[in-house]
Chain A
C-alpha cells in the first residue's frame, strides 16, 4: 500500500514537480507570540464558508426559488426530508457564526495593523469578502419567503433607494420591479447561489494565495527582537493540526446549536399583512438599523436616513482604505489614532447592537 502511494506520488511528481511545493510548505513558519490566537480566526471563517457551501448545495436539492413554492419547500425540508431540519439549521447557524468570525478576524487584523505594507491587497480582498458576506446574509434571509424576510427586504432595499442619484435605479434592479415580489426572490436566489459564491471563491483564492506567499504578519512590537530569538512553529504539520482541531471543536459547537436551537420558519410572507410587532433585521445589521432609528427625520436640509447612509458609506470607504491613509504603520511607527478609531468602532457597534436588542 505504502509502495503504491509512493509510486503514485512519484508519477505526479515527475509531471508537475511537487518537490517545490513540499519544500515551500516545510519552510513555512508561523510566528509564536502572545497574540498568536488571532491567527486562527481566518481559518475558522474559512471553515464556516466551507460548511455553507456544503449545506447550501444540499439545500438546493429540495429548495424551490419561487414565491409560490419557496416557503412550502422549506417547510418540506424541515418536516419531511430526513435530517432536513439539521441541514437547514446548520446553514442558518453557520451563516451567523461565519459573520461573527469574520468580524473578529477583521478587527484583529485591524488592531495589529497587519494591513500595513506589504499586505494591503490582502486587506482589501478581505474587505470585499466581508461586504459579500453581509450580502450573502441579506440575500439568503429572503429565500424562505416568510413574513420577517419579506419586510426586512422591503426595508433594506428601500434604504438602498435613499442613496442619492444611483439609489432608485439600484433599488429597481435589486427588486426586479417597483415592489418586493416573486421577481425579487428569483433575483436574490440567483445572487445567493451563483453570483456571490463565484466572486467570493475568486477573492478567497487570491486572499489565501497572498497569505501563503507573504506568510503571517508579525505584531509590530516583535520587530526589535533578533531573528534567532523569535519563536516560530512550522505551518505544516504543527499549525495545520491545531487549525484542524479547532475546526473540529467549532463543528461540534455548530451541531449543538443546530440541534438545540433549530432555525425557525415563521409565517409565510403576505403582501397584504401588516408588518408584525418586534420586527428586526439580523443582528449584524442591527447597529446600523438602530443608528438610523435615532436620527431625526430631517437634519439641516437632508433627510436623516440619507445622512445616515452617507455617513456609513463614508466610514466603510475609510475603513476599506486604511492601508492607504495609515502611512505611519507602514513605516513601522506607532499610530495611536488607529487604535482610538478601532476602539470607537467596536464600542459603537456593540453598544448600538445591545440598544437595538433591548429596545425591541
Chain B
C-alpha cells in the first residue's frame, strides 16, 4: 500500500468513492442478471376461463348408487347419484393434501385413498385428517341433462 498516498485524506475519499461506485455497479450487475432469471422461473398466470356451470351429461349416465368425476374448469367435481335418487355435486379435491376422492358405495361415504380421509355425502369431513368439508356445487336437471354450477 502506498504509505504517502493513504495518509492524504482527499486520496482516501477518492478511493472510497471509487469503491462505492464499483460495488454499486456490481450490485446493479447482479440484480440485472438475477432478476430476469427469477422472473423466468415464475410460471406465467394462464388466462383461466371463469366457469360457472358445466353440463355433466345425461341423467341416466349415472345410475343410482354410482358416481362420476367431471371436469369443472380445471378442477375435478364428483357427482353422486344417491340411493334416495338425488344428485349431489361436491369438489373432488380432498381438503387435506389435494388428492382426488372417490365414492364408496358400500359405506355410503366419500373416501380419500391417500390418507384415509372420510366425508359424508354432504361433503362434511367425518373422520381422518381432512380439516374442512368439501366445497359444494349445485345440480340442476334441465331437459334430462345434469347441469352442475357453483353455489351462489
Say whether A272 contacts B69, CB under 8 Å.
Answer: yes
Q: Which residue of B42, B46, B74, B98 is within 8 Å of A154 (Cβ)? A: B98
**19 pairs across A/B with beta carbons < 8 Å?**
A151-B100, A151-B114, A154-B97, A155-B99, A155-B115, A158-B98, A176-B43, A177-B46, A272-B69, A272-B70, A274-B102, A274-B113, A275-B101, A275-B112, A293-B116, A297-B131, A298-B131, A303-B131, A305-B97
Which of A151, A176, A271, A274 gathers the greatest number of chain B CB atoms within 10 Å? Answer: A274
Q: Which residue of B46, B71, B131 is within 8 Å of A272 (Cβ)? A: B71
Tell me the smallest distance from the CB of A215 to a CB of chain B, in Å.
39
Contacts of B92 in A (CB 8 A): 274
Say whether A155 contacts B114, CB under 8 Å.
Answer: yes
Say whether B113 contacts A278, CB under 8 Å.
Answer: yes
Q: Which residue of A172, A173, A275 is within 8 Å of B114 (Cβ)? A: A275
Say whether A275 contacts B99, CB under 8 Å.
Answer: yes
Contacts of B76 in A (CB 8 A): 271-272
Contacts of A164 in B (CB 8 A): none
Closest to B41 in A: A173
- Contact size range, A: 20 to 34
A60 contacts B by Cβ under 8 Å:
no
Tell me the smallest distance from the CB of A18 to a CB of chain B, in Å.
40
B129 contacts A by Cβ under 8 Å:
yes
Closest to B114 in A: A275
Question: Considering the chains assembled together, what is the distance between the CA atoms of A308 and B124 in angstroms?
Answer: 25
Q: Chain B interface mostly helix, strand, loop or mixed?
A: loop
Say whether A274 contacts B74, CB under 8 Å.
Answer: no
Contacts of B43 in A (CB 8 A): 172-173, 176-177, 183
Say whether A274 contacts B101, CB under 8 Å.
Answer: yes
Question: Considering the chains assembled together, what is the distance between the CA atoms of A304 and B42 in angstroms?
Answer: 30
A273 contacts B by Cβ under 8 Å:
yes
Contacts of A303 in B (CB 8 A): 131
Contacts of B98 in A (CB 8 A): 154-155, 157-158
Say whether B129 contacts A275, CB under 8 Å.
Answer: no
Which of A176, A177, A275, A276 gathers the greatest number of chain B CB atoms within 10 Å? Answer: A275
A86 contacts B by Cβ under 8 Å:
no
Contacts of A271 in B (CB 8 A): 71, 74, 76, 100
Question: Considering the chains assembled together, what is the distance between the CA atoms of A232 and B73 in angstroms?
Answer: 69
A165 contacts B by Cβ under 8 Å:
no
A299 contacts B by Cβ under 8 Å:
no
Contacts of A179 in B (CB 8 A): 74
Closest to A293 in B: B115
Given A176-B43, A183-B43, answer yes or no on A297-B69 (Cβ-Cβ < 8 Å): no
Which of B92, B98, B116 gathers the greatest number of chain A CB atoms within 10 Å? Answer: B98
Q: Within residues 126 to 185 of chain A, which ones have a CB less than 8 A from any CB in chain B?
A: 151, 154-155, 157-159, 172-173, 176-177, 179, 183
